[in-house]
Amino acid sequence: MSVWRTPGGGRIDRTQRRKFRFDGRDYQGVAGDTLASALLANGVHLVGRSFKYHRPRGLLSAGAEEPNGLVTVRRDAARVTPNLRATQVELYEGLDALSQNRWPSLQFDVGRINDWLSPLFPAGFYYKTFMWPKGAWKSLYEPVIRRAAGLGVAPTEPDPDRYAQCYAHCDVLVAGGGAAGLAAALAAADEGARVILCDEQNEFGGALLSDPQATINGAGGQAWVDQALAELSANPRVTLLARTTAFGYFPHNLLGLNERLTDHLSAPPAGRARERLWQVRARSVVLATGAIERPVVFPGNDRPGILLAGAARTFLNRYGVRVGTRAVLVTAGDDAYQAALDLHAAGVSIAAVADLRPQAEGALPTAARRAGIEVLTSATVLGTLGGLRVNEIVLGELDGTGGVRRKRTVRCDAVLMSGGYTPSVHLFSQSRGKLAWNEPLQAFLPDRSAERERSVGACRGIYDLAGVIDDGFAAGAEAASGRSGRRRSVSAHSAGGDGSAFLGAVPLAGASSDKSFVDWQHDVTVKDLLLATREGFRSIEHVKRFTTTGMATDQGKTSNLNALSIVAGALEVPIPQVGLTSFRMPYTPTTFGSFAGASRGDLFDPVRKTPMHDWAATEGAVFEDVGLWKRARYFPRGGEGMHEAVARECLAVRSACGIFDASTLGKIEVVGADAAEFLNRLYVNNWSNLAVGRCRYGILCREDGFVYDDGVVARLAPDRFHVTTTTGGAARVLAMMEDYRQTEWPELAVWLASTTEQWAVIAVQGPKSRDLLQGLVEDIDIGAAALPHMSVAHGRICGVPGMVMRVSFSGELGFEVNVPADYGLGVWRAIHARGEKDITPYGTETMHVLRAEKGYIIVGQDTDGTVTPDDAGLAWAIGKSKADFVGKRSLQRASMHAPMRKQLVGLKSRDGRTILEEGAQVAEIPGQKPPMRLIGHVSSSYYSACLAHPIALALVAGGRARMGTTLYVPMPGGDIEVEVVPPVFYDPSGARIHA
Amino acid sequence: MLLISCPYCGDRPEIEFTYGGQAHLVRPADPSALDDQQWAEYLYMRTNTKGVHAERWRHARGCGRFFNALRDTTTDRFAATYKIGAARPDPAASEPTPGTAR
Amino acid sequence: MSKQTFSGLALIRRALTGHRDWRPQWRKAAPKPAYDAVIVGGGGHGLGAAYYLAREHGITNVAVLEKGWIGGGNTGRNTTIIRSNYLFDESAALYDHSVKLWENLSQELNYNVMFSPRGVMMLAHTVHDIQVFKRHVHANRCNGVDNEWLEPEEAKAFCPPLNIEGNMRYPVLGAALQRRGGTARHDAVAWGYARAADALGVDIIENCEVLGIRRDAAGRVEALETTRGVIRAGRVGVSAAGNTSAVLGLAGVRLPLESYPLQALVSEPVKPIFPCVVMSNTIHAYISQSDKGELVIGAGTDAYTSYTQRGALHINTHTLDAICELFPTFRRMRMMRNWGGIVDVTPDRSPIIAKTPVPGLYVNCGWGTGGFKATPGAAHVFAWTIARDEPHPINAPFTIERFRDGHLIDEAAAAAVAH
């Protein structure tokens, strides 16, 4: 054991040694240490360099508020985590940590030159310079600044760890497991509530873990904690979550918790999640988030060895580590004397207590004097000395007239400081509760709640132990039952609790040439804040943004109130008038991976597969994503690329027969006496005159008149329609239908059901399709007379009940076989087998080519949400006799009939060879330079194997009046001449469809 | 994530719902009788209320039904939820619903 | 009123005297009884409009009224992405006008707004995305706006952390890159315009909320009732982003706007790892790295209208899903801070920069999630509109009446519909 480690006491196990590394050097700690306490136990105070000036820094705190001790912890090449607080890193065997933001080493960092040059780098200096020459910002200055900024180095390999997520409900969520939180949980559990208690630390107990003097009901504080935990863990309605930070408070009492599961383990079990994100909906919330000690702002207050008094006490009492051999305490309150007394008792010499107050006559100061500790009142700090560790502090005694009566230099290797406490109102404030300034405590406290929530204990300014526990009991019972419950009686005592506080810089701080730090991590000094006010930044939000105070990874936990006080002082206004910056989630930085959880790869979004998916995969299909669906795009054979495969598939359909999986098309059953009327009101088409057993191509517009979706609609019965939609549009079309059905026309007798996944749809297309299906269908006459184009019949297909629609999106004789999804694969196989050499499976790419040859549009490709039915050449579909349909009124606006609207046309390259690029623009005038006058764009373009030339569809201004004219597609290599042609390239008479 | 009280199913988390925009907009019985300005009012103009807003929600991943709600857009607190067709309740008189402060 | 010149030399000179003689960057003006023009809203758009009114139109008796602190709205809450590769001619003209102003803004304002044209790359994940992006690329090229198509390997070369493996749910199939796009320092934009406008005589009045708009017998704007008294002005321009409906409602003007929460977040700072801006509309992720080293990440809007300036946790989890999928090396990075703004959205997702039905009342609104990039350009043409009582040719299409007449500029519809 080192000289810094005490012989006994604390929450560590001295028998369990833990080897670890820091900056490549081997050290030893013990079980129960944090990296911070283990480093201190090895006499290592220098743990980091500051952001801007690269000043050497030691640990300021022992907890979540730590601004200085940021390290990178590295488990392996991929498991590298930057910017961790050493005070929160639990030590494990083999832990490997690195300091950050220094070069070449922590001891010698050339960046320190910034400190000497700091007069050139006041707050916001970068707004005033680096503007010449123009362009040098990006090429010269910014790269230098970027390299200098940043803290740790981001991981460079994908994170192999797993992250879990869960949702929970409870009656009472208690955030914070110190005395107040434990009491609240006990009382809530007494009322029979389902309770979740979480605490960010590895064990519950909060401040009691560092307070051996505390007594509760006559016994030690730790005994009370142990008993409370025993009671709570025996209660099945209570969930205890240690290492779990309540990081966010969201509307309606939803809280986000981050539970760390493996970071404290030397060898995490394979497969165990690293962290778990809890989303907890609580009927009531008890915030028992404690308070954070405030540093004192004095010149040179950032040297390693200068730390919060409470932190020194925690390191001693909880971790068994002395922070030095000879310490000075700087305080403005009684509480911190306990730290001096504890250290004194542990053999640390207390060279002096510098109390900023004119008098210090409380019990603790008295005890200190009695212990032989020299107490200087009316003291101030004029400076500190020391290279990589503080070795002297210069104290002054104020003469009461703005000067110093006596100046004294005290040798020391540690300075403890305390400006009182800042209640942790982060979560309360996130919940949108209103804060109120409390003058005696010099702090903002929770005032009016916005949610069902109560703050208890130190986070609302109650600091004495008995009061804290009482407050917890009362709030826990009330949160659980809505009334004050059975109150447990408690007698408790601990040191301190007087709540005296000090804010802002110490007297005469400005007289020193050394910097007085307010925000340690961002190197914001008193001078920076004063400069900001001089330059007219008065709102605290402006000061924050100009100086960056409070914007570091600690988000100002130790700095915000001091900054506020200094700004208020400079502006000569009360603190509440300066305002307070908003508290935002997360309370402490929270891992991206825990938010993402299992959402990666195929679990990123649900994958929808058709019943025939695996068959297609086996056949070597290449898939594309359409909405959530995987659709077979083409079926390459041998070494075919997409274009060869598609050409082959196209020719096969045109000459024989193709089989295509159309199952992804949306399907909605519209049923009821008013089903036809309902569709009349929605779709542009007339449905009243559609006979049972017949199909019609339907177009759906939004109320703004633009095409929203399309699809074939079959009338299965007078009161029953089978509506198909685009693959991506199914859900939104159904939602739109439900909207009108429920909210506009509730009087209609009509019901809707999505049947998309009930049916497998097998499109069999091509001149041989009828022959092929002939022997597979029962009870259905699929002859040309009985089942003409655009009709539907029910019957059995391959023995399976289903329906056959005679429809074609290919331009050939074609059928779509609909069977219950579970039979889809079997029927597909049967049809495919029957087809033998005459049948060719094809994918969406071939489907697109075939339909483009016929001039059929794809909604979303040939339309884009600005296209009317008439623009798309579909005016014929509009039911002319209908008084109204969704979108009709918008279509009556003059602009919807302007002759120069963009209209769907076909384009043929004049050279007969060039395949236009989809998205290419169309111009009337050749040879233009940017900006060009453009009149349209190519929406679909393919090589047509069947026609042996390229084809394209385009939306062109006034396009239908331009038939036969030449237009130009301007490309980087020059214009491509194209001829405007009708959009139907293949079989314009439709003879093949009607075969 | 808001906690929303579906009048048919009770309290459910927001992810079960879709938002339906301003409530009580009635589609004109005869849109053709409207001039372009009147039609644009129906189609596009919204109160965008800063305060208590009557709005539609649909319990899309639940019962599927649309309903109306009164929500204060400055706090996101719901004052009431009510069925389509029902009159807009007086927010002051309604029962507190989830998300309402004690 | 002359402003102190900002330069490296000035900085060095004042370093010798402890930086004691820097003056306020803008005066804390008290409202005068009357102005020639008043701008409501002290964000970048409003401050910029005041600056251009003074600078380009000689109208210097101008006040900017801000209900809180300047730059505290969406100007100070956005992810600072700047680009102009929009599809339609009208949009491309407006946003490219802006990019051209960005390119000289630091010099023009003598304030380093840190415009950094590091390239904005938009990822395509589906065949449909490719079609849409290529349409953008071609349209932009023909409009003289730089935008180029990258294959996945080229995209990865431009942004090394990008995952282009096929095992992604929505693999990266390519990207559209605008090299002139980038980022800027948002606060500096507000402060730079404020300082420059102030030097030209503009009064910047903070903590001044507009409570009423008075009109004369002819219906023309006459004065504003504010928390700091009545301020007369014959011309009032409103640049109030999420609060525009409320402000214009005071004059009885209804707008096709809805205000939604939009969130963003930053990671802890790390050393340079991310050289450009990457956007994925398909899986909703927007990311860059600030000069301080934070990864700056934009989330989507919440589903419902709200003025609370906060959004739901699940919106952030979804955003970080996408970030971790695209950049699996960032899974161990940590969120440091999350915040929300209020964005005012029009039905066609394009802004309104126009006269209103009330004479003397002008509005610049409806920027949705994309207002920051347009700050200089929008402010410039808005000032023109106010000064001349007629739109600049660039903002002429961005009227309120386009919704009545059906002349929408629908960037969203043009991109979003899947088949």
User: Cβ–Cβ of C255/B36 closer than 8 Å?
Assistant: no
Residue C266 neighbours by CB under 8 Å, 6+ apart:
C290, C294, C295, C296, C297, C335, C336, C337
- Token readout for C418 is 């899947």
- Token readout for A322 is 């002395």
Residues A429 and A534 in one domain: no
The pLDDT assigned to A485 comes to: 64
Q: How many CB pairs under 8 A join A and B?
A: 67
The pLDDT assigned to C1 comes to: 53
Domain harbouring A94, CATH code: 3.10.20.440
Sign, CA torsion A553/A559/A561/A566? negative
Domains assigned to chain B: 3-83 (3.30.2270.10)
Q: Which residues of B touch A431 (CB under 8 A)?
A: none
The pLDDT assigned to A581 comes to: 85
Residues A321 and A355 in one domain: yes
Q: Mean pLDDT, to the nearest integer, of C390-409?
A: 97
The residue among C305, C42, C300, C211 whose CA lies nearest residue B74 is C305
A889-933 pLDDT per residue, tens:
999 999 999 999 999 999 999 999 999 999 999 999 999 999 999
A923: which DSSP letter? Answer: B
* C-alpha separations of A702 from A524, B57, C45, C128, C417 in Å: 56, 19, 33, 21, 13
Burial class (CB in 10 A: 0-12, 13-18, 19+), A596: buried
- Residue A622 maps to a domain: no
Q: Mean pLDDT, to the nearest integer, of A432-440?
A: 96
The pLDDT assigned to A676 comes to: 98
Chain centroid, CA B88 distance in Å: 10
Residues A340 and A377 in one domain: yes
Choosing among C248, C258, C306, which should be mutated to test the B contact, i.e. which has the most B CBs within 10 A? C306
Residues A447 and A534 in one domain: no
As beta bridge partners, residue A683 has: A700
Report pTM: 0.96
Distance from CA of B19 to the nearest CA of C (A): 6
The total domain count for chain A is 6
Q: Mean pLDDT, to the nearest integer, of A801-810?
A: 97
Domain harbouring A928, CATH code: 2.40.30.110
Choice among A63-67, A501-505, A959-963, C62-66 with the minimum mean pLDDT? A501-505
Under the banding of pLDDT at 50, 70 and 90, the label for residue A525 is: very high
User: Cβ–Cβ of B1/C314 closer than 8 Å?
Assistant: yes
Residues A214 and A105 in one domain: no
- Residue A655 maps to a domain: no
What is the side-by-side order of every strand in the sheet holding A966-971?
A: A921-922, A936-944, A949-957, A902-909, A974-981, A966-971
In angstroms, how far is the first alpha carbon of chain B from the final one? 19
User: Cβ–Cβ of C169/A605 closer than 8 Å?
Assistant: yes
The residue among B40, B39, B1 whose CA lies nearest residue B19 is B1
User: Cβ–Cβ of B48/C255 closer than 8 Å?
Assistant: yes
Question: Which of A573, A590, A623 is the endpoint of a domain?
Answer: A573
Q: Which residues of C touch A527 (CB under 8 A)?
A: 18-19
- Residue A144 maps to a domain: no
Kindly tell me if the per-residue pLDDT of A975 is higher than 80. Answer: yes
Question: Which of A387, A403, A419 is the endpoint of a domain?
Answer: A419
3-class secondary structure, A439? coil
Say how far apart CA A214 and CA A212 lie, in whole Å. Answer: 5
Say how far apart CA A414 and CA A307 lie, in whole Å. Answer: 8
B98 touches chain A (CB under 8 A): yes
C407 touches chain B (CB under 8 A): no
Cβ atoms A176, A290 nearer than 8 A: yes
Say how far apart CA A269 and CA C355 lie, in whole Å. Answer: 66
Under the banding of pLDDT at 50, 70 and 90, the label for residue C411 is: confident
Say how far apart CA A680 and CA A700 lie, in whole Å. Answer: 10
Under the banding of pLDDT at 50, 70 and 90, the label for residue A402 is: confident
- Residue A55 maps to a domain: yes
Under the banding of pLDDT at 50, 70 and 90, the label for residue C415 is: low
Question: Which of A474, A493, A512 is the endpoint of a domain?
Answer: A493
Q: Looking at B31-100, which runs of residues are DSSP E strands? A: 52-58, 66-72, 77-83
Residues A305 and A404 in one domain: yes
Q: Mean pLDDT, to the nearest integer, of A422-438?
A: 97
Q: Count the alpha carbons within 13 Å of A744 in the hemisphere toward its beta carbon.
A: 18
Number of helices (H) and strands (E) in chain B: give both, helices first.
1, 6
| Helices A560-571/A540-547 angle, 10° precision | 110
Kindly tell me if the per-residue pLDDT of A498 is higher than 80. Answer: no
User: Cβ–Cβ of A252/B3 closer than 8 Å?
Assistant: yes
The residue among C379, C387, C382, C342 whose CA lies nearest residue C47 is C379
User: Cβ–Cβ of A122/C112 closer than 8 Å?
Assistant: no
Residues A363 and A433 in one domain: no
The pLDDT assigned to A582 comes to: 87
DSSP H stretches of helix in A462-559: 465-481, 526-534, 540-547
Distance from CA of C213 to the nearest CA of A (A): 27
Residue C49 neighbours by CB under 8 Å, 6+ apart:
C39, C237, C239, C364, C379, C382, C383, C386
Radius of gyration of chain C (CA): 21
Q: Mean pLDDT, to the nearest integer, of A649-671?
A: 98
More confident residue, A968 or A775: A968
Distance from CA of B35 to the nearest CA of A (A): 9
Q: The domain containing residue A112 runs over which residues?
A: 13-116
Residues A240 and A379 in one domain: no
As beta bridge partners, residue A375 has: A353
Q: How many residues can be counted in chain B? A: 102
Residue A416 neighbours by CB under 8 Å, 6+ apart:
A307, A308, A309, A312, A323, A327, A328, A329, A330, A331, A336, A339, A340, A343
The pLDDT assigned to C413 comes to: 76
Report, as ranges of residue numbers, the positions in chain B whose pLDDT lies below 50: 94-102
Kindly tell me if the per-residue pLDDT of A579 is higher than 90. Answer: no
Kindly tell me if the per-residue pLDDT of C418 is higher than 60. Answer: no
Amino acid at C202: V
Kindly tell me if the per-residue pLDDT of A290 is higher than 90. Answer: yes
In angstroms, how far is the first alpha carbon of chain A from the final one? 96
Under the banding of pLDDT at 50, 70 and 90, the label for residue C72 is: very high
Sign, CA torsion A878/A883/A884/A888? positive
C388 touches chain B (CB under 8 A): no
Residues A929 and A950 in one domain: yes
| Helices C186-199/A540-547 angle, 10° precision | 110
Q: Which residues of C touch B40 (CB under 8 A)?
A: 256, 403-404
Under the banding of pLDDT at 50, 70 and 90, the label for residue A459 is: very high
Q: Mean pLDDT, to the nearest integer, of A6-31?
A: 97
Q: Mean pLDDT, to the nearest integer, of A545-571?
A: 96
Amino acid at C153: E
User: Cβ–Cβ of C258/B74 closer than 8 Å?
Assistant: no
Q: Rounded to 5, what percent of chain B is helix, strand, coil?
A: 15, 35, 50
Nearest by CB to residue C403, choosing from B1, B40, B48, is B40
The residue among A770, A784, A832, A826 whose CA lies nearest residue A802 is A826
The residue among A530, A508, A502, A523 whose CA lies nearest residue A382 is A508
Residues A178 and A260 in one domain: yes
The pLDDT assigned to C195 comes to: 98
Sign, CA torsion C23/A141/C299/C345? positive
The pLDDT assigned to A500 comes to: 83
C278's enclosing H/E stretch is strand C277-280
Q: Mean pLDDT, to the nearest integer, of A331-346?
A: 96
* C-alpha separations of C129 from A624, A642, C122, C170 in Å: 12, 18, 10, 11
DSSP H stretches of helix in A854-948: 888-891
Residues A103 and A81 in one domain: yes
Nearest by CB to residue C308, choosing from B14, B44, B76, is B76
A493: which DSSP letter? Answer: E
ipTM over 0.90: yes
Q: Mean pLDDT, to the nearest integer, of A223-246?
A: 98
User: Cβ–Cβ of A586/C336 closer than 8 Å?
Assistant: yes
A653's enclosing H/E stretch is helix A642-655
The residue among A598, A583, A543 whose CA lies nearest residue A565 is A543
Ordered DSSP codes for C297-316 = EEEEEPSS---SS---HHHH
The residue among A9, A718, A595 whose CA lies nearest residue A320 is A9
- Residue A254 maps to a domain: yes
A889 touches chain B (CB under 8 A): yes
Q: Which residues of A touch C26 (CB under 8 A)?
A: 536
Q: Which of residues 20-79 of B touch C (CB under 8 A)?
A: 21, 36-37, 39-41, 43-50, 53, 55, 71, 73-76
Q: Which of residues 239-278 of C touch B (CB under 8 A)?
A: 243, 245-246, 254-259
Q: Rounded to 5, what percent of chain A is helix, strand, coil?
A: 25, 30, 45
- Residue A858 maps to a domain: no
What is the side-by-side order of every strand in the sheet holding A720-725?
A: A695-701, A707-717, A720-725, A666-671, A751-754
User: Cβ–Cβ of A131/C335 closer than 8 Å?
Assistant: no
The pLDDT assigned to C419 comes to: 41
Domain harbouring A465, CATH code: 3.50.50.60
Q: Mean pLDDT, to the nearest integer, of A707-731?
A: 97
Write phi, then psi, for C191 (nearest 5 degrees). Answer: -70, -40
Write phi, then psi, for B82 (nearest 5 degrees). Answer: -155, 160
Choosing among A127, A513, A533, which should be mutated to test the C contact, i.e. which has the most C CBs within 10 A? A127
Residue B23 neighbours by CB under 8 Å, 6+ apart:
B54, B55, B56, B68, B69, B88
The pLDDT assigned to B91 comes to: 66
The pLDDT assigned to B94 comes to: 47
The pLDDT assigned to A486 comes to: 63
A150: which DSSP letter? Answer: -
Say how far apart CA A820 and CA A790 lie, in whole Å. Answer: 21
The residue among A425, A562, A418, A413 whose CA lies nearest residue A495 is A418
Q: How many CB pairs under 8 A join A and C?
A: 352
- Residue A225 maps to a domain: yes
Nearest by CB to residue A888, choosing from B1, B31, B43, is B31
Choosing among B15, B48, B67, B76, which should be mutated to test the C contact, i.e. which has the most C CBs within 10 A? B48
Q: How many CB atoms lie within 10 A of CB A786?
A: 12
The pLDDT assigned to B100 comes to: 38
C276-328 pLDDT per residue, tens:
999 999 998 899 999 999 999 998 899 999 999 998 999 999 999 999 999 99
Nearest by CB to residue B75, choosing from C304, C308, C347, is C308
More confident residue, A510 or A655: A655
Q: What is the mean pLDDT of chain A?
A: 96
Nearest by CB to residue A604, choosing from C127, C169, C268, is C169
Distance from CA of C11 to the nearest CA of B (A): 44
- Residue A762 maps to a domain: no
Q: Which residues of B touch A888 (CB under 8 A)?
A: 31-32
Domain harbouring A551, CATH code: 1.10.10.1100
Q: ω into residue A767 within 30 of 0, thus cis?
A: no
Q: Which residues of C touch B75 (CB under 8 A)?
A: 308
Q: Mean pLDDT, to the nearest integer, of A945-950?
A: 97
Residue B90 neighbours by CB under 8 Å, 6+ apart:
none
User: Cβ–Cβ of C305/B47 closer than 8 Å?
Assistant: no
User: Cβ–Cβ of C257/B46 closer than 8 Å?
Assistant: yes
Ordered DSSP codes for C172-218 = --EEEEETT-EE--HHHHHHHHHHHHHHTT-EEE-S--EEEEEE-TT
Residues A693 and A705 in one domain: yes
